[in-house]
Amino acid sequence: MNSLLELRKRGQSIWLDYIRRDLIRNGELKRLIEDEGLRGVTSNPSIFEKAIDDSTEYDEALGGLFARNPNIEARELYDTLSIEDVRDATDILRPAYDESGGLDGFVSIEPPPQLTRDTQATIEEGRRLWRTVNRPNLMIKVVATPEGVQAVEALIAEGINVNITLMFSMKHYEAVAGAYIRGLKRCGKPEKIASVASFFVSRVDTQVDKALDALGSPEALALRGKIAIANSKRVYQRFREIFDGDDFSMLRQKGAHVQRPLWASTSTKNPRYRDVLYVEELIGRDTVNTLPPATMKAFRDHGQVRGDTVQENLPEADNQLRALSNLGIDLNAVTDKLQVDGVASFAASYDRVLAALDKKRSKMRAAGAST
């Protein structure tokens, strides 16, 4: 049987970490939903940048926008094209949203990364995107900085679905879960809200492994490729404590959904590790795993579903985290830096998208002038 469909039986939803116009319009997204059990889509500017730079699939739409306003700014171009793609994708995923009772079928869109440190600007942009896309199965992606966490609470309180991203540590997770619950308590219809807490996985091993290699001792080298999974398992246990416990009981009685952990950055960066490592080891109920196309294909081909692995070997995971600390490696310092670097990477990707759009405009103007 298709391993991706087996994950759904375990209570885990697979979302695709990829969106571009040809996927939506050539029927491939619909096929993935129907044949592979796909339940959602996340997006980011770097994917859009490649589609603009390396293909002609947006040329017709860009030509129409340039014709109407030759001086249109790159930011408005990106906003218009990305909203069109996200709206079309939400329509294709709407049956999954309806069938799941509003638990799945979501597509995420993010405010410009430059707003990450501005709570009020993030709130206002989240509102604008929510109104403009105008689909109940939209999620606004907000970065889990302290300023973003405040925005999350406000958006949830207003009835807006939120995907909170760039979380790497227990500290990040607890702040986000608290904001979600506080927002639900202020929301008139908490049963209508959905949210995911996007917890990044492989990037933790990438950074920690460098520190372990630098130490070079047998004890250090034995921990390579272990810490990201141990870190994620510990967060999942905290998720269960919070949402199965008294803190959430009154909201649960009102029909509120739990805020599911979403495992992000689950493609394997180190070629020494199994290419589906972070999928196989983080299977569990009430979770989402967002996969890039290559990882999704690899898991369908040879992924193994052996049980609720996110709850396996928990004492061993705790021992690994303790051993890391005993080696003098501060995981909180590593994960704080990862979030800072992630924000910078998002901003750089966004800037590259704008540059790609400006480049495309220059090429189209030159082509028009030569005809």
Where are the domains positioned within the chain? 3-205+229-312+342-364
Per the structure block, which two tokens stand in for 254? Answer: 């009102």
Cα 336 to Cα 294: distance, rounded to the nearest angstrom? 28
Tell me 109's DSSP state: E
What residues are labeled active site? 141
Distance from chain centroid for Cα 124: 21
Tell me 265's DSSP state: S
Cα 186 to Cα 174: distance, rounded to the nearest angstrom? 19
Q: Which of 302, 281, 293, 176 is nearest to 231 (CA)?
A: 281
DSSP-assigned states of every residue in 288-307: EEEE-HHHHHHHHHH----S
Predicted local distance difference test score (pLDDT) of residue 371: 45
What one-letter code names the amino acid at 81? L
- Rg over alpha carbons for the chain, rounded to the nearest Å, is 21
What one-letter code names the amino acid at 38? L
Residues 6+ away with beta carbon under 8 Å from 66: 72, 361, 364, 365
pTM to 2 decimals? 0.95
Tell me the pLDDT tens digit for each residue of 312-346: 999 999 999 999 999 999 999 999 999 999 999 99
Predicted local distance difference test score (pLDDT) of residue 43: 82
Cα 118 to Cα 326: distance, rounded to the nearest angstrom? 37
What one-letter code names the amino acid at 117? R
Tell me 244's DSSP state: S
Place of tokens 């406000």: 154
- Strand ranges, E, within 230-347: 260-264, 287-291
Report helix angle 170-186 to 331-369, nearest 10: 70
Predicted local distance difference test score (pLDDT) of residue 55: 80
If one counts every other C-beta atom within 10 angstroms of the C-beta of residue 352, the result is 17
- The burial class, CB within 10 Å (0-12 / 13-18 / 19+), for 237 is middle
How far lies 214's CA from each of 25, 115, 132, 205, 346, in Å? Answer: 48, 36, 49, 14, 28
Low-confidence ranges of the chain (pLDDT < 70): 1, 368-371
Tell me the pLDDT tens digit for each residue of 22-67: 999 999 999 999 999 999 999 878 878 888 877 888 989 999 999 8
Buried b (16+ CB within 10 A) or exposed e, 278-293: bbbbbbbebbbbbbbe
What one-letter code names the amino acid at 202? S
Tell me 43's DSSP state: -
Q: Specify the fold of 3-205+229-312+342-364.
A: TIM Barrel (3.20.20)
- Strand ranges, E, within 67-161: 106-109, 138-143
Cα 347 to Cα 216: distance, rounded to the nearest angstrom? 34
Report whether 202 contacts 267 (CB < 8 A).
yes
Cα 326 to Cα 77: distance, rounded to the nearest angstrom? 51
